[in-house]
Amino acid sequence: KQEVTQIPAALSVPEGENLVLNCSFTDSAIYNLQWFRQDPGKGLTSLLLIQSSQREQTSGRLNASLDKSSGRSTLYIAASQPGDSATYLCAVNSYNQGGKLIFGQGTELSVKP
Amino acid sequence: NAGVTQTPKFQVLKTGQSMTLQCAQDMNHNSMYWYRQDPGMGLRLIYYSASEGTTDKGEVPNGYNVSRLNKREFSLRLESAAPSQTSVYFCASSENWGNEKLFFGSGTQLSVL
């Protein structure tokens, strides 16, 4: 059974710092991995989707990498801003789950001015 | 472009009452999903509809029923609400099943007393 873990559960950084959020998964037979952002009281917004054949995806100040063999993905946020404060979730779509996404519990990020 | 719209945003029920959560998407997506989000449990899939005319159980289907009314609309029904169904419910859609970016609604906060 696929399990997705995100560590740390919470992170606080000063504005301007570059930071890395981690996601690990137990079954490397995946179709893809998605990173989402969730603001308090809101739904999830998809940030980046990495297919299993890709190593990384970039969107603006965000860069997500994928290492299937080690069961890891990282979300790199450059030059963090207070507006980046939110919970970041990763979700894995694996063969053995029949196409259903399995979510991690998220990292709550706070960027202090 | 509204994306995924859920109603209601908030609801309080008494144990044993029934209700239907409505979801509509205007992106011409084939696949739609219902998730629940609970503290410490993350997001869990309740039911999904891979395409119009089909529905399937997810990870936690007990106590729920769904209807894919047409390509745009996917409703979730609680026949006899229980306190364990207190949660935040999210509807989501994707262009196709299994390998696509997910788009989420803003959620329904449900309390069952």
From the list B4, B42, B97, the residue facing A103 with the nearest CB is B42
| Angle, CA A47 vertex, CA A55 and CA A26 arms, to 5° | 55
CA distances from B94 to A44, A78, B6, B55, B98 (A): 13, 29, 15, 15, 9
Token code pair at residue A20: 């890395």
Task: Tell me the average pLDDT across A61-86.
Answer: 97
Chain A residues whose CB is inside 8 A of the B92 CB are 44
* SS3 (DSSP) at B35: strand
From the list A32, A89, A105, the residue facing B99 with the nearest CB is A32
- The residues that bridge with B90 in the sheet, in sequence order, are B35
Q: Calculate Rg over the CA atoms of chain B.
A: 13
**pLDDT, tens digit (0-9, with 9 covering 90-100), for B35-54:** 999 988 889 999 999 999 99
A43–B4 C-beta distance less than 8 A: yes
Q: A94 pLDDT exceeds 70?
A: yes
* SS3 (DSSP) at B33: strand
CB B72 within 8 A of CB B3: no
Q: B66 pLDDT exceeds 90?
A: yes
Chain B residues whose CB is inside 8 A of the A93 CB are 98-99
Supply φ then ψ for residue A52, to 5 degrees: -60, -25
Residue B41 Ramachandran class (φ > 0 left, ψ -120 to 50 alpha, else beta): alpha
**pLDDT, tens digit (0-9, with 9 covering 90-100), for A19-56:** 999 999 999 999 999 999 999 988 999 999 999 999 99
CB B21 within 8 A of CB B76: yes
What's the half-sphere exposure (Cβ side, CA atoms, 13 Å) at A89? Answer: 22
| Angle, CA A84 vertex, CA A81 and CA A90 arms, to 5° | 140
